[in-house]
Amino acid sequence: MQPEELDPSLISGSGPFPERGVGSNEPYHVVVDEPSDQISTGVPTMASPAWTPEDETIPTRLLVLGMAHRNGSIHAGELYSVIESCGVSVDQLRSQLRRLVSEQLFTRTGEGRDAVFHATPAGTATLTSTMQRHRLAYAQDAAGRGWDRRWRLVAFAIPEARRTDRDAFRDRLLQLGAASIQNGLYVSPHRWEAEVTEAAQRLGIGEYATMGTTDDLEVAGERDPRKLAARLWPLEEIAERYRAFTATYKDVPENLEAMRRRGERIREADFLPGVLHIAIRFNECFDHDPLLPPELLPRPWPGREAREVLARCRRLGVLAREDKSGPALFQVFDDVIALLP
């Protein structure tokens, strides 16, 4: 795949895999649980029996959004059938579902275990953007490139009276992989014009924002693209997170394959929390990754190996699952890895 074949719509940022802005202390997107919605569990993962995360926390929202169907609906009955295995209480589940409705990400029909939650346009964007990011990441991995050698710039000066909108616009830029050059000026190598324009129009701040592109960016006297990327984004920190993930899970695919050869299967009580824990651990890497094109990254870039491990864990884990008709946690992720070579 050549760079021009990478769909620019794949540049996005929020969803079931929580993310945080790179080069900023701000959250990378809104899908993050409050402490009251987290629980501690000592359940070992299906993939790494030696790793028993006694103090690992499970974000309830990650579980809830991970149970979304491909059409964006979430069925309460399916959630109630998995929360015990994942260590989430009924009260935590109900609280999170109420929050999703109050945030206007979902509407609800029905009551109790018969309720179905339907994604609003904002909810649909939240659910789909993470899959778009995953597709972008794997596409860039496969192509080994993905940059047209142009930097995208956005500058804004939004009045203090519009502070909420200003913060929302800044957070959206961070979701799209931006880095701050200075106050009110952000840069990205991604083709993000459509997404930035949509955000400005939605927030009604278009008159305060300016967009541009350049192939000759200089920051603090530096022009070299790779050196600029290293200056603007904490790439070594991100790389270390990916290395830690790979070190934890690198032997898992072989272990799962060996289970299959022996005719062993993963019990549902192990499969569901195992899938959830892998997602949590991978998020610790992916959440911070602006998905810079390979041309701007150190080589070899550990994110590629980590994604390969994640995809193999998912493929083999699903095959080894005892109850293949059970609830599909993160089923939309299967659409991404199904297309991988």
Average pLDDT over residues 182-209: 94
DSSP state of 44: P
Q: How far apart are CA 171 and CA 154, in angstroms?
A: 13
What is the per-residue pLDDT across 106-147, written as a single tens digit (0 to 9) for each?
A: 999 999 999 999 999 888 877 877 788 888 999 999 999 999
At 12, which amino acid appears?
Answer: S
Count the Cβ atoms, other than its own, within 10 Å of residue 293: 21
Q: How far apart are CA 77 and CA 100, in angstroms?
A: 17
pLDDT of residue 58: 67
pLDDT of residue 341: 67
More confident residue, 327 or 113: 113
Q: Are 156 and 199 in contact (CB under 8 A)?
A: no
DSSP state of 191: -
DSSP state of 78: H
Q: Are 282 and 245 in contact (CB under 8 A)?
A: yes
Q: How far does Cα 88 stand from its chain's mean position?
A: 21
Strands 116-119 and 151-156 turn out to be unpaired
Q: Are 282 and 17 in contact (CB under 8 A)?
A: yes
Indicate the burial class of 243 (C-beta count within 10 angstroms; 0-12, 13-18, 19 or more). Answer: middle
What is the per-residue pLDDT across 28-62, written as a single tens digit (0 to 9) for each?
A: 232 333 333 333 333 334 444 333 344 455 678 88
Average pLDDT over residues 201-219: 95
Q: How far apart are CA 164 and CA 162, in angstroms?
A: 6
